[in-house]
């Protein structure tokens, strides 16, 4: 298939919530463009939805003001059709969205002389008193742009006429693990607000983001309202052709990706939400062994106090763990996590 064929398949899907996993450079961004082109062609060349992708991020470009030793460094906003909606945005609108990321900086909008033209640039600073301009990190910039987009979605008129779908392509580049979880929370909130009225397509290369959203929508506390309206896909390439595989009726077999993700987390920092991924891994193994019970797998890998460890994993990967628990694990939790992970690897010798 080519990307237009896949766009047509997604457009004709009966589900309103679509999650898609694909490796980097597979074609996720190009698919968002193909989906835009396909849906526009069906609507006399007019947009029917709203998109967040690499093109959205590229609207924001740093002016480092090198000639003045960065004295007036700022983030320029490339003029586009979105500028007409900027005048409806307030700094506080974006601050509300950013609050979940606990930013250490403040910012001001620099408007065009003609305010109807919108925002010309954004200046970031640490000190409210002197407002000396600073450059924020790439990860902080990605979070800011994502929250700018989220705030823009709430502007009357922006999404009102292009209200058939939201297409969100990989809003997690340059983010560390606990901010991945926060971004997943913001996407879930977006789904919760709009899933009955709009199609929402989320594509990502990040197995953690995919797994968290998959769990929330198909196994989580509120999954009863979303499960039948959700479809999950893998986008891949075979012999230079695109392949789209639905996971609707299949076991979620990403154990090697999960192993790599958890191994990397152990080497860096472990957060409470990693128990969500550990449980997903145990469920995948349990399904392969012919049982859906993680306790069976815990016995197989040699865990002695199976009931206690199982209860800890379940409690940390349900309910509270879905409510913004991006805090670090306690030493006791880390020990349990590492012991289970190590015993999985010793028992099954996964190569990842």
From 65-74, 154-163, 194-203, 270-279, the region with the lowest mean pLDDT: 154-163
The percent of residues above 90 in pLDDT, for the chain, comes to 55
DSSP-derived pairing of the beta strands 165-169 and 199-204:
parallel
Q: Average pLDDT, stretch 10-32?
A: 90
Q: Which of 218, 246, 274 is the last residue of a domain?
A: 246
Q: Which of 246, 271, 289 is the last residue of a domain?
A: 246
Per residue in 96-118, pLDDT (tens digit) is 999 999 999 999 999 999 988 99
Residue 55 placed within a domain:
no
At 57 the pLDDT is 92
Residue 158 placed within a domain:
no
At 324 the pLDDT is 42
CATH number at residue 180: 3.40.50
Clarify whether residues 71 and 43 are in a common domain: no
Residue 54 placed within a domain:
no
Q: φ and ψ at 297, to 5 degrees?
A: -70, -40
Clarify whether residues 333 and 295 are in a common domain: yes
Clarify whether residues 178 and 308 are in a common domain: no
Q: Which of 194, 223, 246 is the last residue of a domain?
A: 246
Clarify whether residues 40 and 185 are in a common domain: yes
What whole-number distance in Å separates Cα of residue 33 and Cα of residue 167?
10
Sequence-ordered list of residues with C-beta below 8 angstroms from that of 193, at least 6 positions apart, any chain: none
Residue 53 placed within a domain:
no
Geometric angle at alpha carbon 197, from 195 and 202, rounded to 5°: 40
What whole-number distance in Å separates Cα of residue 184 and Cα of residue 172?
9
Number of domains in the chain: 3
* Domain around 145: 62-153
The percent of residues above 70 in pLDDT, for the chain, comes to 93
């Amino acid at each position: 298939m080519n990307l237009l064929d896949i766009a047509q398949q997604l457009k004709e899907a009966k589900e309103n919530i679509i999650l898609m996993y694909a490796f980097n450079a597979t074609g996720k961004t190009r698919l968002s463009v193909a989906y835009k082109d396909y849906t526009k062609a069906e609507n006399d060349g007019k947009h029917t939805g709203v998109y967040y992708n690499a093109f959205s991020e590229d609207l924001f470009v740093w002016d480092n003001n090198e000639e003045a030793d960065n004295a007036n460094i700022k983030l320029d906003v490339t003029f586009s059709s979105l500028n007409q909606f900027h005048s409806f945005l307030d700094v506080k609108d974006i601050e509300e969205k950013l609050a979940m990321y606990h930013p250490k900086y403040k910012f001001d909008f620099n408007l065009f002389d003609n305010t109807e033209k919108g925002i010309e640039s954004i200046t970031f600073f640490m000190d409210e008193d002197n407002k000396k301009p600073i450059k924020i990190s790439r990860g902080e910039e990605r979070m800011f742009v994502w929250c700018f987009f989220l705030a823009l979605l709430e502007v009357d008129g922006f999404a009102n006429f292009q209200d058939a779908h939201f297409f969100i392509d990989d809003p997690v580049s340059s983010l560390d693990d606990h901010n991945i979880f926060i971004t997943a929370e913001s996407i879930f909130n977006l789904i919760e607000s709009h899933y009955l009225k709009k199609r929402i397509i989320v594509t990502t290369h990040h197995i953690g983001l995919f797994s968290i959203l998959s769990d929330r929508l198909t196994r989580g506390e509120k999954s009863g309202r979303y499960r039948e309206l959700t479809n999950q896909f893998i986008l891949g390439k075979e012999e230079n052709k695109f392949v789209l595989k639905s996971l609707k009726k299949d076991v979620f077999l990403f154990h090697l990706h999960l192993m790599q993700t958890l191994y990397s987390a152990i080497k860096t920092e472990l957060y409470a939400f990693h128990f969500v991924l550990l449980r997903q891994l145990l469920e995948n193994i349990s399904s392969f062994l012919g049982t859906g019970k993680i306790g069976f797998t815990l016995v197989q890998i040699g865990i002695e106090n199976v009931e206690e460890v199982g209860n800890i994993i379940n409690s940390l990967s349900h309910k509270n763990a879905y409510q913004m628990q991006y805090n670090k694990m306690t030493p006791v939790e880390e020990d349990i996590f590492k012991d289970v992970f190590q015993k999985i690897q010793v028992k099954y010798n996964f190569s990842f």
